[in-house]
Chain A
């Protein structure tokens, strides 16, 4: 069984693209698209890496991140944050809240893969 990554994202086509890339790289990909229950899913699934979209239905990615960091059981999980808004403010906010890494959409497939590998290895 490969290493587990949890993908929290609501756009079906982006989910499909990321799943394809990561699965091919040997990851076991779990996906979740509802913002309100995402934090609980991280707790129960104990993934090695979380890829988190900033805009989700129900709850923003920043809120979820804040909750993950506040909870000791998930405080150390590496989180790669993705956002499509592409503003400096968002990057600052994400890093301040404790995101391990931050990327702007659209991304290069290779970069995402490299980041996920780096976060899991680090």
Chain B
């Protein structure tokens, strides 16, 4: 097989297209609810393999060629962490699920009183640490292209490869990573693509390894002999680095944003951890198994001075195995791309939630806060994806390809490891405070930047004299020898000092400062996550207008999700409709849901804007603690029972209220019928007697006769409606099931209701409406006609607009009619579905008498006959009605 540059590009593009297809298919399956196996422990374990980046894929061999066994520390640390999952990972995963954590910055910020600035600090550290790491992946892709092109005709400039890779990755990530806002919905497409890439890279590395051991090395015994004879000493006596790097990689495994994302945020089930506890170490063991043989054989066979970072690729090429080389190339490509994709998502989430959202909230006034929040966050996330990748590309351009792969990786590890003290301390020690965490993070990050990150640019940022003598001649601040302690390995020196000072500042400041109540509450919840019977409350009092909260929630988590959430809560409280009471418990749950989209700190601030009164006081905290203690003493059954009783009592109360109201209404009903019949009768009688007199002009006579006729019609209509209603109520109706599409029914209704005359703009969604339904279409049309004519009659906007939105949820069809008028005031919403509930304000100047107020009552009866419902939807801006009914298609097929 002869490889050309074009073949290489074509293969890469084909591979990327395949990944798009996989991600797309997985997303679709998940959305259709058939994604059960997408959440298997196997996929979870494979997704963890993004720990193995291009650095490990190519760099491990180079590392082994230089330092022997030391490359294994990078894998041993994480293996030990995962094997010891019962200690730490289980708790992290549980906390993240209970608190709806979206990223590592969110975890730390949420623990320390939902502090926005702690979140921002962690985010900045992560961006600083991970950007070089992303650059590293771009570098490895462009290096491997260069390795292939060497010796090909027409050497080409490969710089653009990195650029196009970055652009392609930005596209992929935006497409599959920022589509939805609630990370609890998880990124099935991306996880699946990452799992496929995990298999490809393992397969590729094993392929090259098998070829090297059995094809070139002479089997296992032969290879072992070659290793013994090799000039690389496997154990070089660097005990400090052996222990230090194992610990560092274990820390980085927990704190790298991308690892936190796949390990904790995308985790569906504690039990997946149990499988990963052996499967992930097995995966990395296999990934590192053939590293030493490849290094040894590569040093033997490849010409002097070859870059050992590329042995994985260079060996098959030089031995003339084009196919194997291509496989190795795809393996490396997979390693690089999967890491970049997940790292970018994780960083973008953090940047948008912890930097953009708080800034946005502080700039905007409270009234406009909720407007377009969702759009702003999504946009911020997309821009962050592009910005993070651009930053990586710039770093790649700036540092060039001079630095060995492994050293960039370790710099990143040391950077993100600064988050570890705050994270570990936060989940194990209730005394940790936000000020302590902040102090530790800032000090640790500063020491890391000074001793490791900035010197990595060579002398570009820190000039040589400063490196040698320290800033302003302060020798104890020399980047390579803090406090005058010289002779340490630079990496160990940086890791040791930064983490030591970080942890010390964290502990000391925590002990000296006092946490605020929210910090104490969150601290208790994090540390004692396994003892929680239920979430403790962070809202003590509430003066929140539920409808405002609904509007807010809709703008953050999306329309349907918010409505479902509120409806479920209302049901839980034993209320009907979409608006529950704003109990502290509900506010707490709502805040959690919002946190799943915008992070804990922003969610807390958002809800806080709608809840009057002070937040949490120490007194409330004590009350919460007392309450928790009491609840623990009751048995779970008792608790459930009393909740059940409360619900029943509530439902009863509501039913009773309704009955009393009904009795009152029955009285009013008769008097209304009398009124509604006498009113047209008055006109008829009066004009009839006028018409009997003489001396009318023909024009007058014609007009008066017209009025008599119109009023007679009105009476007929009223009688029809009354009859209709009583027949519907008795249930003496035979439904005629017909087949048709929803669009036809809506077309017909708009025509009958006169909505096409131009006084009401109707916004429709033809794609969603092309939905086959089997039901009584005439009755359904009757309901629609009613709603459309109501909008025509009562919508008081300057330019009346009616939006008809259609969606399918399972077997149910949902049609929403939303106008842009001023809506129906809350007190009247309860009664609009009752008979004769004509709304008070009506449009003046209409000649035709308006309806009798039976329309919505009839609609309600019809919908319940069709097995559906009609409800008023609060919080939509104008008047909004939701019609729900079974699509009926499957049922028809069964008949």
Q: Is the CB of B671 within 8 A of A87?
A: yes
Determine the chain B residues whose CB is within 8 A of the CB of A14 once the complex forms: 679, 682-683, 686
Interface pair A105/B671, CB less than 8 Å apart:
no
Verify if B586 is at the interface (C-beta below 8 Å from A).
no
Q: How far is the CA of A14 from the CA of B846 in the complex (A)?
A: 14
Task: List 24 A-B residue pairs with CB atoms under 8 Å apart, sorted by A's residue number.
Answer: A11-B679, A11-B849, A12-B847, A12-B849, A13-B683, A13-B707, A13-B710, A14-B679, A17-B682, A17-B683, A21-B686, A33-B844, A84-B675, A86-B678, A105-B678, A105-B681, A105-B682, A106-B681, A106-B682, A106-B684, A106-B685, A107-B682, A107-B686, A109-B686
Task: Given A13-B707, A87-B671, A109-B689, decide whether A57 and B681 contact each other with a Cβ distance below 8 A.
Answer: no
Q: Given A57-B842, A58-B840, A109-B689, do A85 and B674 touch, yes or no (CB 8 Å)?
A: yes
Once the chains are docked, how many angstroms separate the CA of A95 from the CA of B619? Answer: 61
Closest A residue to B695 by beta carbon equals A24
A13, B849: Cβ atoms closer than 8 Å? yes
A55:B675 contact, CB within 8 angstroms: yes
Interface residue ranges of A53-112 to B (CB < 8 Å): 55, 57-58, 84-87, 104-110
4 more A-B residue pairs beyond the given contacts A57-B841, A84-B675, A85-B674, with a C-beta to C-beta distance below 8 A: A17-B687, A33-B844, A57-B842, A84-B682
Please report the C-alpha to C-alpha distance between residue A57 and residue B846 in the assembled complex, in whole angstroms.
15
Chain B nearest CB from A111 CB (Å) reads 11
Residues facing B in A23-67 (CB within 8 A) are 33, 55, 57-58
Give chain B interface residues in 639-675, CB to chain A under 8 Å: 671, 674-675
* Chain B residues within 8 Å of A33, by CB: 844
In the complex, are the beta carbons of B671 and A17 less than 8 A apart?
Answer: no
Question: Known contacts A13-B711, A85-B671, A87-B671: does B690 contact A109 (CB below 8 Å)?
Answer: yes
Inter-chain contacts of A11 with B (CB < 8 A): 679, 682-683, 849
Contacts of B674 in A (CB 8 A): 84-87
Contact present for A18 and B842 (CB under 8 Å): no
Residue of A nearest to B673 (CB): A85
A102–B297 alpha-carbon span in the complex (Å):
115
Q: Which chain B residue has the least Cβ–Cβ distance from A107?
A: B682
Chain A positions within 8 Å of B685 at CB level: 106-108
Contacting residues, chain A, for B710 (C-beta < 8 A):
13
Q: Which residues of A contact B844 (CB under 8 A)?
A: 33
Q: Are B840 and A17 in contact (CB under 8 A)?
A: no
Q: Is the interface of B mostly helix, strand, loop or mixed?
A: helix
Residue of A16, A18, A84 touching B707 (CB-CB under 8 A): A16
How many Å lie between the Cα of A87 and that of B674 in the bound state?
9
Q: How far is the CA of A107 from the CA of B679 in the complex (A)?
A: 10
Q: Which B residues touch A17, using CB under 8 A?
A: 682-683, 686-687, 690
A58 contacts which chain B residues (CB < 8 A)? 840
Complex: A92 Cα to B833 Cα, angstroms: 32
Distance between B775 CB and nearest chain A CB, rounded to angstroms:
37
Contacts A11-B849, A13-B849 hold; do A21 and B678 have CB atoms under 8 A apart?
no
Task: Tell me which of B679, B681, B690, B847 has the highest count of chain A C-beta atoms within 10 A of its own C-beta.
Answer: B679
By beta carbon, the residue of chain A nearest B845 is A12
CB-CB under 8 A from A16, the residues of chain B are: 707
Interface size of B by Cβ–Cβ distance < 8 Å? 24
Expressed in whole angstroms, the Cα–Cα distance for A13 and B690 within the complex equals 13
Residues of chain B having any CB pair with chain A under 8 Å:
671, 674-675, 678-679, 681-687, 689-690, 707, 710-711, 840-842, 844, 846-847, 849
Bound-state CA distance A11–B707 (Å) is 12
Given contacts A14-B682, A57-B840, contact A85 B689 (CB under 8 A): no
Q: Which chain A residues lie closer than 8 Å to B841 at the CB level?
A: 57
Beta-carbon nearest neighbor of B711 in chain A:
A13
Residues of B within 8 A of A106 (CB): 678, 681-682, 684-686
Q: Known contacts A11-B849, A13-B849; is A84 also within 8 Å of B690 by CB?
A: no
Known: A13-B849, A55-B675. A18 touches B686 (CB 8 A): yes
Chain A: which residue is nearest B678 at the CB level? A84
Neighbouring A residues of B681 by C-beta, 8 Å: 105-106
Nearest-neighbor residue (CB-CB) of A18 within chain B: B686
Measured CB to CB, the closest approach of chain B to A89, in angstroms, equals 9
The residues of B that contact A107 with a CB separation of less than 8 Å are 682, 685-686
A32 CB to nearest B CB, Å: 12
CA distance A55 to B679 in the complex (A): 11
Determine the chain B residues whose CB is within 8 A of the CB of A105 once the complex forms. Answer: 678-679, 681-682
Give the distance to chain A from B828, nearest Cβ to Cβ, in Å. Answer: 14
A1 to chain B, nearest CB (A): 23
Docked CA distance A85–B679 (Å): 9
Complex: chain B residue closest to A86, CB-CB? B674
- Assembly CA distance A9 to B50 (angstroms): 78
Measured in the bound complex, the distance between the Cα atoms of B678 and A87 in whole Å is 12
Give complex CA distance A109, B685 in Å: 8
Chain A residues with CB under 8 Å of B686's CB are 14, 17-18, 21, 106-107, 109
Q: Report the minimum CB–CB distance from A36 to chain B (whole Å).
A: 11
- Given A11-B849, A85-B674, A108-B689 contact (CB < 8 Å): yes
CB closest chain-B residue, reference A84? B678
Q: Which residues of B contact A20 (CB under 8 A)?
A: 690
- Assembly CA distance A95 to B707 (angstroms): 32
In order of increasing CB-CB distance, the 8 nearest A-B pairs are A17-B686, A84-B678, A106-B682, A13-B683, A105-B682, A106-B685, A84-B675, A106-B681
Question: How far is it, in angstroms, between the C-alpha of A14 and the C-alpha of B674 when the chains are bound?
Answer: 16
With a CB–CB cut-off of 8 A, which chain B residues contact A18? 686
Smallest CB gap from B710: residue in A: A13
Q: How long is the Cα–Cα vector from A41 to B671 in the complex, in angstroms?
A: 29
Instruction: State in angstroms the CA–CA spacing of A21 and B685 once bound together.
Output: 13
Min C-beta distance of A104 to chain B, whole Å: 8
B686, B689, B849 pick with most chain A CB within 10 angstroms: B686
Complex-state Cα separation, A21 to B686, whole angstroms: 9
Q: Report B846 CB to chain A, min CB distance, Å.
A: 8
Write the nearest CB–CB distance from B672 to chain A, whole angstroms.
Answer: 8
Q: In the complex, which residues of chain B have a beta carbon less than 8 angstroms from the beta carbon of A85?
A: 671, 674-675, 678
Bound: A86/B711 CA distance, A: 19
How far does the Cβ of B713 sit from chain A's closest Cβ, in whole Å?
12
Give Cα A108 to B671, complex, Å.
Answer: 21
Chain B residues, Cβ within 8 Å of A110: 689
CA distance in complex: A55, B840 (Å): 11
Separation of A13 and B711 alpha carbons in the complex (Å): 9
Question: Who on chain B is nearest to A87 by CB?
Answer: B671
The smallest beta-carbon distance between B848 and chain A, in angstroms, is 9
Max chain B Cβ within 10 angstroms of own Cβ: one of A18, A106, A110:
A106
- Nearest-CB distance from B684 to chain A (Å)? 7
* CA distance in complex: A85, B678 (Å): 8
Q: Tell me the nearest residue of chain A to B676, going by C-beta.
A: A84
The residue in chain B whose Cβ has the minimal distance to the Cβ of A89 is B671
User: How far, in whole Å, are A33 and B674 apart by their CA atoms in the complex?
Assistant: 21
Closest to A34 in B: B844
Please indicate the chain A residues that have their CB under 8 angstroms from the CB of B687 in the complex. Answer: 13, 17
Q: Which residues of A contact B678 (CB under 8 A)?
A: 84-86, 104-106
How near does chain B come to A82, taking the closest CB pair, in angstroms?
Answer: 8
Of A17, A55, A85, A109, the most chain B CB neighbours within 10 A belong to A17
- Which residue of the partner chain A has the closest CB to B848? A12
| B696 to A, closest residue via Cβ | A20
Closest to B844 in A: A33
Q: Which residues of B contact A84 (CB under 8 A)?
A: 674-675, 678-679, 682
Most buried by A among B675, B684, B840, B842: B675
Q: How far is the CA of A14 from the CA of B710 in the complex (A)?
A: 13
Q: Which of A21, A57, A87 contacts B690 (CB 8 A)?
A: A21
Name the residue of chain B whose CB is nearest to the CB of A33: B844
Q: How far is the CA of A13 from the CA of B687 in the complex (A)?
A: 9
A85–B675 Cα gap in the complex (Å)? 5
